Structure 1
Amino acid sequence: MFHKIILFIFSICTLTIAGDWNWQYPKPQGNNLWAIEFYNERYGYAVGEWGTILFSSDHGLTWEIQYEGVTDNLRDIALADSITAWIVGDNGMILKTTNNGFNWIEQNGGIQNGLNAVCFWDKNIGWAVGDNKKIIKTSDGGTNWIIQVVPLIPNNISFNSVHFISLTEGWIVGSSGYILYTINGGTDWIVQKNTGATLQQIRFVNSTTGFAVGTNGSIFKTTNSGTNWNSLTSNTTLGLNDIHFSNAAEYWIIGDNGIILRSSNSGSSWYSENLDTYASIHHMSEFLGIKFIAGEYGLLAQKNNSDPWNFWNKGMNISVNWITFSDGVNGFGVGQYGRIIKTIDGGKIWNDVY
């Protein structure tokens, strides 16, 4: 499974660089980065506003600007293998590379609406979703894209996340709490639920059990592939941004104002952990049982099993919102103004690499 991290775009702050954060060289660009993904421990991309595409081939030590042919904000990236990738963004922008980004080719998705998320099952079959209830699918690597129709929902609905567990079975979530489901690769989409709350993320543990999280502390769970979605008690009204499965029983949800929810019974009930911060948390990742979180104001923290959360940084001048680890010691984070940070010691020290 690819280690994928997506930069949440809503937070802006300017504090003072502190602690172990050091510039390695002056950065040549300062645009917000909204997504980063590594295919393995060596090759990775970061994308962001004003058409920014960066590529690293040395574990994130150095980054180079690639394609400068577009000015659209780029929202998400999906990798099929070490050399093949797609990027989506505003105004229906779709870009593809088959040579590690040395060349990016614009593909015609047949729409002008913003695209917010993309996923590819293999080098040929993929989906992209976005504003105004747009869903497009390709079966030939993006040479041709087909618009998939979603009837009976308002045209102004935006889709925020797309998740497939097979070539045929997948889900989409978005604004106004819509959960869509397909069993034929998107030829037909049905509305499984209209929760009312905007949903930010959907993930499935297996083919039958899944969760969706969103605004106002919303947690929804299904145990029958979405035939029924049941609302769970979160005891918070804060926005929830991501969900993470550590194992078959231990689940985590993170969100605004430092909220961390934990379940030890496969999501049947949730309780809050005290993080001693009001910074919003945007992503959680895990490697070898060690959990990592990133959020507003450069928040970076780590937790090993039952140990308390250990803060690495509370005071950067930038929001570092998403992190990923390629092994037990090497990790990356991305943030505003083109910031890419890296640790090579399991998160004890983080340094700027771009």
Structure 2
Amino acid sequence: MKKFKKERFDIGRRRALCFVATVPLVSMEAVWANPVLDALRRPAFVAPHVRGGVLLDVAKSGKRIVAVGERGVVLFSDDVGATWQQASVPVSVTLTAVNFVDEKYGWVTGHSGVVLATSDGGGTWRLQLEGKRAADLWRAEASAGSKNDDDSDKRLQEAQRLVSDGPDKPFLDVHFFDRKRGFVIGAYGLIFATADGGETWSPWMDRLDNPKALHLNALAIQGQRILIVGEQGLLLQSVDGGKTFVRLSSPYPGSWFAVAALPDGKWLLAGLKGNIYTYSPAGFSQCEVPIPVTIGCLSLMHDGSVLALNQAGQALISRDSGGRWTSVSWPPGPPLTAVVELDGSRLLASSLRGVRELPFPK
């Protein structure tokens, strides 16, 4: 199994592959007894103090707000963040990303190849996919498509290695186009898609030009256009809803951790040391960023501005589609991992120490 490079741990949000909890939820002996298998079988620990733990993503399901994080914790609020309840979750692995298509149906990705689904707005979740089953699906497809040539042999070896490694690789982002069609991406080039709401899944690794199995860290959607960003400058674009992908030449060699689709058809990409670029048919253009700190989240606001969250717990805002960025003055606090807009004057952010309400930058 390949070893992680240092830069794979350089970002303190959901794109990182491992986090250390700031609030102990269970004893370390329990956590490390059988860390992978036990976490897949053990429901999320329910306790009031989990609300101050590590949360890695936040999203809206209608008027409800849902936040996800370490050890299977899913929190939801029906009163704009004033009070929170903990959802019923069948696993206790770290959850990395959440996506809703409407007020009822949503999906969550996590470590150990986990995909969870909800049909009640995030109150209860069920397991749809985990790492062992994902590996078996990849091996079955690689075996069925084997043609006794070098490429087929390589795919089969990679699939068998995934099976041998066990369910130890995380999914890092998720997008559903509607209640039926969606896909998830993750570490080591993993990408799986569904056309029936997650009841069945198909590996898409063969569709990607990613021979080194580089991590797929984040994705964004513009209609049928998909842009996936990853480590070591990996950029993969589809213009047909994921049927085919082409690899783009990156304007810098470092890893990308965030991507956002802008209303004007352009893309924003962000990564190590504060690198932010715009991408359009005309090519890439580097943005002016005042703070050279790794960026892990880009969020488009209703007024057209874009917020960027960095590893140091700081925020930047652009009001000209990413051309220029200025620092946001917020009270000091733990690093933020994601943000949603409550109204024109308030934001709600997930962080390494629970949920924070913040003023909208003026």
TM-score (norm 1): 0.68
The 5 A counterparts of 1:118-197 are 118-148=174-204, 149-166=206-223, 168-194=224-250, 195-197=252-254
**Structure 2 CA distance, aligned partners of 1:263 and 1:43?**
27
The answer to whether the Cα contact below 8 Å between 2:21 and 2:53 also exists between their aligned partners in 1 is: no
**Structure 1 CA distance, aligned partners of 2:291 and 2:360?**
30
TM-aligned CA distance change 1:329 to 1:262, over 3 Å: closer
Matching of residue 37 in structure 1 with residue 59 in structure 2: yes
Aligned with residue 229 of structure 1, among 280, 284, 302: 284
The answer to which structure has the higher helix fraction is 2
The answer to whether the Cα contact below 8 Å between 1:35 and 1:76 also exists between their aligned partners in 2 is: yes
**Structure 2 CA distance, aligned partners of 1:261 and 1:108?**
36
Q: Which moved more, 1:205-214 or 1:83-92?
A: 205-214
**Structure 1 CA distance, aligned partners of 2:120 and 2:241?**
28
> 1:199: which partner in 2?
256
**Structure 2 CA distance, aligned partners of 1:52 and 1:247?**
28
The 5 A counterparts of 1:326-337 are 326-329=342-345, 331-337=347-353
> 1:306: which partner in 2?
none
The 5 A counterparts of 1:27-106 are 27-29=48-50, 30-40=52-62, 42-106=63-127
Q: Percent identity?
A: 19
The 5 A counterparts of 1:1-12 are 8=13
Per-residue Cα deviation, 1:71-111 (whole angstroms, up to 9, x for no partner): 21100000111111111101110111112334322113624
> 2:269: which partner in 1?
212
Long gaps (5+) in structure 1: 1-6, 15-25, 276-292, 294-300, 302-310, 349-354
Q: Which moved more, 1:103-112 or 1:78-87?
A: 103-112
Q: Which moved more, 1:88-97 or 1:138-147?
A: 138-147
TM-aligned CA distance change 1:251 to 1:55, over 3 Å: closer
SS in structure 1 of the partner of residue 112 of structure 2: helix
Q: Give the number of aligned pairs.
A: 284
The 5 A counterparts of 1:169-318 are 169-194=225-250, 195-206=252-263, 208-224=265-281, 228-231=283-286, 234=289, 237-243=292-298, 253=308, 255-256=310-311, 258=314, 260=316, 262=318, 264=320, 266-267=321-322, 270=324, 273=326, 275=327, 301=329, 311=330, 313-314=331-332, 316=333, 318=334
> 2:173: which partner in 1?
117
The answer to whether the Cα contact below 8 Å between 2:297 and 2:338 also exists between their aligned partners in 1 is: no
**Structure 2 CA distance, aligned partners of 1:84 and 1:127?**
14
Per-residue Cα deviation, 1:109-140 (whole angstroms, up to 9, x for no partner): 62443100111121111121100111111121
Per-residue Cα deviation, 1:226-281 (whole angstroms, up to 9, x for no partner): x74344565764323344567999766554555747574x55x54x64x5xxxxxx
TM-aligned CA distance change 1:245 to 1:143, over 3 Å: closer
The code of the aligned residue for 2:348 comes to: F
The answer to whether the Cα contact below 8 Å between 1:133 and 1:150 also exists between their aligned partners in 2 is: no
SS in structure 1 of the partner of residue 75 of structure 2: strand
The answer to whether the Cα contact below 8 Å between 1:12 and 1:336 also exists between their aligned partners in 2 is: no
TM-aligned CA distance change 1:320 to 1:182, over 3 Å: closer
